[in-house]
Amino acid sequence: MTSLMSVKLSDLVVKRRGSTILGPIDLELGSEGFTVVLGPNGAGKTTLLKVLHGVERVTRGSVDWSIPAEAAREAQSYVFQNPIMLRRTVAQNLAYPLKVHGVDKATVEILIREWAERIGLADAMDRPAPRLSGGEKQKLALGRALIRKPKVLFLDEPCANLDGRATRDIEDLLLQASKDGTKIIMTTHDLGQCRRLASDVVFLLNGKVHEVGVAESFMASPRTPEARSFLNGDILV
C-alpha cells in the first residue's frame, strides 16, 4: 500500500514563450506525509503543483505516478487559491463531486451532512455558496476536495488572505486529512504554517528544486545560503 501513490519527476522542464519557468527537475515524493513547497514569488510553485496534477503542459521529461496516470488523476484533488464555487447552495457544492462519480443518493446525503459539520457549515447547508465569506468558501472548497477521500490533495496557498481563526480551522482539517492517510502537497508563503504542518519541504528557487529535506531539519538548519536567506525573510533575487 505504501508505494501506491508515490511520484517521480525526471528531467522535467516547462517552457513558456521561450523561457524556462520550471526545471530541469528530478524529484521523488513518497505516498505519505505532508509536503510543503516553499519559495519566493515566481519560483515555480504553482507550476510544479499543476505539473504533478497533470494539468500543465510539459515541454520535456516525465511525471510518473506509481499507478497508471488516469487512476492517479482520479485519486487526486486540487484546491486553488481562489476556489470557484458553483452558483448553488453549500449542500449542492459538497454533493457535486459525489454525484459526478455516481455515488448513490442516500450516501450523498450522509456524506454532505458529515462534511458540512466537519467544515463548520452545518447551519449553512442551504446558503448560496457564492455569498459565503472568504474563510467559509475556502473551507467549503476543502470539504468538496476531501469528501471523496483523495489519496493525494494539492493545495495552492489555501490560507492566503484568511484571518487567524479561519487559518486554524483549515490547518486542523488538513492535519486530520493527513492523519486519515491523504498525502498532502501544498504551497505556502507562511513559514509558521510550514513549521506547523510540514513533514517534508521542497524549496524551489528560479524554477529549480534547490533543497529537499525533512521539515524540521530544513527549518532549523538549511544547507544552502539561499534557503537560509529565505527563512530569514531576506529578499532573494
Ligand X SMILES: Nc1ncnc2c1ncn2[C@@H]1O[C@H](COP(=O)(O)OP(=O)(O)OP(=O)(O)O)[C@@H](O)[C@H]1O
Query: Which residues here bind ligand X, judged by CB under 6 A?
Result: 16-17, 21, 39, 41-47
DSSP for residue 78: E
Nearer to ligand X, 41 or 232 (CB): 41
Minimum Å gap between C-beta 141 and ligand X is 17
How far apart CA 2 and CA 23 sit, in angstroms, is: 27
Minimum Å gap between C-beta 12 and ligand X is 13
Classified as helix, coil or strand, 189 is coil
Minimum Å gap between C-beta 49 and ligand X is 8
Nearer to ligand X, 38 or 119 (CB): 38
How far apart CA 72 and CA 185 sit, in angstroms, is: 14
Nearer to ligand X, 167 or 187 (CB): 187
Q: Is the peptide bond before 24 cis (omega within 30 degrees of 0)?
A: yes
AA identity, residue 43: A
Contacts of 84 (CB under 8 A, 6+ apart): none
Nearer to ligand X, 16 or 105 (CB): 16
DSSP for residue 84: P
Minimum Å gap between C-beta 48 and ligand X is 7
